[in-house]
């Protein structure tokens, strides 16, 4: 080999040929930057399940309000400066269990303790014991009919979606949400666009009771539904007609 060809590539050599080190370093850096940008781009297309969690994060919360059982157990806090209409909070028990409201407590004041989970305007109290009756002078939540709406969104369980677990996608997400709702945890309709200023709505059947089992087939799916919307206190209730369901 002549002296003028020292940069000739030798496959079994243990070093990079002279003159090619800088080129290979630039190619490697460019490849890493491309992979980083590709990763950021893919991450940006995914739904962000964050924003939910316990409040406070390190302890139980004690709340006092009027308890109601239909369509699902809820604690209606009295009006205050932050919530002039009062504030409605969904109730569940630790684990995937509903809160059983005795007939004697319906519409009465109770004290409830547990873990408070919050996502935006959505609150869920995962109780660690039965509600205890107390003397509380507070009005029942007002009811305002808002007409019939056609809304697109997803049916989720209120406990996990509020922050008890990190909601995801796919069959595992649907199975978990189905189990929660079938166990009596209040379902929530998460709209793709705000309705009267909120994307979260409690759900009921057209008669105002719990959603029927036929609705379970659509939990965790993007669906379009027609139904009546009403405001109870500061929370919207969506009462869809199952016959209107469409899966876009």
Pairwise CA distance, residues 166 & 175, whole Å: 14
Residue 53 predicted with pLDDT over 70: no
What's the mean pLDDT in 126-131? 89
Is residue 46 very low, low, confident or very high in pLDDT (cuts 50, 70, 90)?
Answer: low
The count of other CB atoms within 10 Å of the CB of residue 241 is 13
Pairwise CA distance, residues 45 & 159, whole Å: 25
Contact status, residue 150 vs residue 225, Cβ threshold 8 Å: yes
Query: What are the extents of the domains in the chain?
Result: 52-133, 143-246
Question: Any idea which of 38-52, 82-96, 130-144, 176-190 has the lowest mean pLDDT?
Answer: 38-52
Which one of 2.30.110.10, 2.40.10.220, 2.40.50.500, 1.10.8.60 gives the CATH number of domain 52-133?
A: 2.40.50.500
Give the position of tokens 């799916």.
221
Contact status, residue 226 vs residue 240, Cβ threshold 8 Å: yes
Pairwise CA distance, residues 200 & 191, whole Å: 7
- pLDDT tens for 91-108 read 998 877 788 888 889 989
Question: Any idea which of 17-21, 35-39, 171-175, 195-199 has the lowest mean pLDDT?
Answer: 17-21
Residue 181 predicted with pLDDT over 70: yes
Q: What's the confidence (pLDDT) of residue 122?
A: 84
pTM of the model: 0.74
The count of other CB atoms within 10 Å of the CB of residue 37 is 10
Residue 64 predicted with pLDDT over 80: yes
3-state secondary structure 184-234: CCCEEEEEEEEECCEEEEEECCCCCCCCCHHHHHHECCEEEEEEEEEEECC
Whether the link from the prior residue into 70 is cis, omega within 30° of 0, is: no
Q: What's the confidence (pLDDT) of residue 163?
A: 76
Residue 52 predicted with pLDDT over 70: no
Contact status, residue 104 vs residue 187, Cβ threshold 8 Å: no
Q: What's the confidence (pLDDT) of residue 13?
A: 66
Contact status, residue 200 vs residue 153, Cβ threshold 8 Å: no
Pairwise CA distance, residues 207 & 217, whole Å: 20
Is residue 159 very low, low, confident or very high in pLDDT (cuts 50, 70, 90)?
Answer: confident
């Amino acid at each position: 080999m002549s002296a003028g060809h020292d940069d000739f590539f030798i496959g079994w050599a243990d070093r990079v040929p002279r003159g090619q080190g800088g080129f290979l370093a630039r190619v490697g850096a460019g490849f890493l930057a491309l992979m980083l940008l590709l990763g950021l781009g893919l991450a940006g297309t995914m739904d962000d399940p964050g924003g939910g969690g316990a409040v406070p994060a390190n302890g139980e919360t004690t709340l006092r309000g009027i308890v109601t059982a239909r369509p699902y157990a809820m604690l209606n806090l009295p009006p205050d400066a932050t919530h002039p209409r009062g504030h409605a909070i969904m109730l569940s028990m630790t684990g995937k269990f509903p809160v059983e409201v005795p007939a004697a407590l319906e519409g009465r004041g109770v004290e409830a303790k547990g873990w408070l989970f919050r996502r935006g305007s959505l609150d869920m109290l995962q109780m660690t014991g039965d509600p205890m009756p107390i003397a509380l002078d507070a009005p029942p939540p007002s009811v305002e009919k808002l007409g019939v709406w056609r809304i697109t969104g997803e049916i989720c369980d209120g406990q996990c979606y509020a922050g008890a677990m990190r909601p995801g996608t796919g069959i595992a997400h649907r199975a978990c949400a189905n189990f929660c709702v079938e166990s009596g945890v209040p379902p929530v309709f998460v709209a793709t666009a705000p309705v009267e200023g909120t994307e979260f709505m409690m759900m009921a059947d057209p008669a105002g009771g719990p959603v029927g089992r036929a609705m379970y087939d659509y939990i965790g799916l993007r669906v379009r539904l027609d139904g009546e919307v009403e405001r109870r206190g500061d929370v919207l209730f969506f009462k869809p007609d199952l016959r209107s369901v469409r899966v876009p």
